Amino acid sequence: MDRLKLVLQYFQSNSESISNGICVILALISVKLYTSFDFNCPCIPQYNKLYALGVMFVPPVILFFLGVIINRHTGVMMEEWVRPPGKRTKNPAVVKYLCSAMMQRALLAPMVWVLVTLLDGKCFVCAFSMSVDPRHFTGIPNNTGIDLVRLMAKVPCKEDAVFRNSTFRKAVTRYVRCYSQAIGWSILLFLILLGAIGRVVKPCFDHATFLQTRYWSNYLDIEQKLFDETCVLHAREFARKCVHQFFQSMQEDMQLRLQLPPPHCHPHHRDEEYEDEDHLHGITRDEQVDRVLNTWYFCRPELDVTKTAHQPKVYITWEDHNGRTLFSDV
């Protein structure tokens, strides 16, 4: 019983904590990606906004899809959603729960990218430097011969010749970056508030149903893992038997030539720690395996293990030759 509990706990913690771990790793990867990415504002009026907003929003989309792909629950959810009912009715609440859990995990890395971008400020400076009113700032270079819009578009590029020895560029950059950081912190505060309210308020609504859906979604995950595991063990036994049988059949072809009987070549006499037959579950042909896998998908079995769980115990009564009871298990 204890061993079973340990195994269940291992599965439970393993599945969710693995997903959480992968989620956090992806968020760290997104931070690393941002720091190693060489932000390169074009400093041309037509392209500044496009580039900056592209860098701010396209990588989050990529990270979101990556988060969905990497998550194990995506497969579980999709399979539960599209399978035919078979002998087991489908519970849409479970699919919805899995979907929302997967989305929440997948949204972490994109949010981290957006926040890091805003807090750093380079994207904002690149996109909105042209929208700043230069009259608020002193020291604007007015002898360069280029028009105002193009001048403002060059603000994000510090190595440009136009702004050498000029405090104007630094002032505008600081101003826009300050806006960017304010927006970043506000978004972070909003998200944290949302998360806190959600956690606090959720138990007020439908907690019992929530417990059920969480249990069954965990169950589906564990069931799929166990099915894959059983298939792997079965394949191994099948392969071992097949190879042995092949050698035996070759040896039978050669029996005519031997004088003595083949010495002890029945491998199943071995006293193994686990039964070979158990692992094969009576499935010994390729058509049977195909049928098992087909039925598993098209006609999922019902959630009722009474027959296996409650096997009748054998009670033995020992009697002597007169019919008197010597010892009894009853």
Partner 1 sequence: MDKFRMMFQFLQSNQESFMSGICGIMALASAQLYSAFEFNCPCLPEYNYAYGIGILIVPPIWFFLLGFVLNNNVSMLAEEWRRPTGQRRKDPAVLRYMFCSITQRSLIAPVVWISVTLMDGKSFLCAFSVNLDLRLFGNGSTPDLAKADLVRLLAKIPCKDVFDGEQVVSREAASRYLRCISQACGWTFLLLTTLVAFTVRAVRPCFTQAVFLKTKYWSHYVDIERKMFEETCTEHAKSFARICIQQYFESVGGEMQGLHGQHLHEKDKSEDEGEKPKSDEEKLLGIRAQDDMDKVLWNWHTCKPPLNVKKEDFNSANSNGTININGFSNNLQKPDPPKKEWVAYYSKV
- Binders of partner 1 in range 34-53 (CB under 8 A): 37-38, 40-44, 47, 51
Q: Using the rule CB under 8 A, which residue among 138, 255, 306, 308 binds partner 1?
A: 255
Residue placing its CB nearer to partner 1 in the complex, 144 or 209? 144
Question: Binding to partner 1 (CB under 8 A): which residues in 291-310?
Answer: 293-294, 296-298
Establish if 66 lies at the interface with partner 1 (CB under 8 A). yes
Contact 281, 267 (CB under 8 A): no
**Helices 92-120, 72-82: crossing angle, 10 deg rounding:** 140
What phi and psi values does residue 43 have, to the nearest 5 degrees?
55, 35
Contact 45, 130 (CB under 8 A): yes
Q: Using the rule CB under 8 A, which residue among 1, 35, 205, 253 binds partner 1?
A: 253
Smallest gap, in angstroms, from Cβ of residue 273 to partner 1?
A: 8
Establish if 286 lies at the interface with partner 1 (CB under 8 A). yes
Residue placing its CB nearer to partner 1 in the complex, 185 or 247? 247
What phi and psi values does residue 105 have, to the nearest 5 degrees?
-65, -40
The burial class, CB within 10 Å (0-12 / 13-18 / 19+), for 77 is buried
What phi and psi values does residue 56 have, to the nearest 5 degrees?
-80, -30
Q: Using the rule CB under 8 A, which residue among 8, 194, 243, 303 binds partner 1?
A: 243
What tokens appear for 119 in the block?
């807090």
What tokens appear for 301 in the block?
């079995």
Establish if 235 lies at the interface with partner 1 (CB under 8 A). yes
State the Cα angle at 15 between 10 and 17, rounded to 5°: 90
Smallest gap, in angstroms, from Cβ of residue 294 to partner 1?
A: 5
Distance (Å, whole) CA 302 – CA 267:
37
Q: Using the rule CB under 8 A, which residue among 85, 268, 281, 303 binds partner 1?
A: 268
Nearest to 126 by CA among 40, 186, 184: 40
Residue placing its CB nearer to partner 1 in the complex, 70 or 188? 70
Residue placing its CB nearer to partner 1 in the complex, 111 or 280? 280
Establish if 193 lies at the interface with partner 1 (CB under 8 A). no
Establish if 175 lies at the interface with partner 1 (CB under 8 A). no
Residue placing its CB nearer to partner 1 in the complex, 65 or 185? 65
Establish if 61 lies at the interface with partner 1 (CB under 8 A). yes
Which strand (E) or helix (H) includes residue 119?
A: helix 92-120
Establish if 263 lies at the interface with partner 1 (CB under 8 A). yes
Establish if 17 lies at the interface with partner 1 (CB under 8 A). no
Question: Binding to partner 1 (CB under 8 A): which residues in 74-113?
Answer: 74-75, 78-79, 82-83
Contact 101, 49 (CB under 8 A): no
Question: Binding to partner 1 (CB under 8 A): which residues in 106-165?
Answer: 145, 157, 159-161
Which strand (E) or helix (H) includes residue 326?
A: strand 325-328
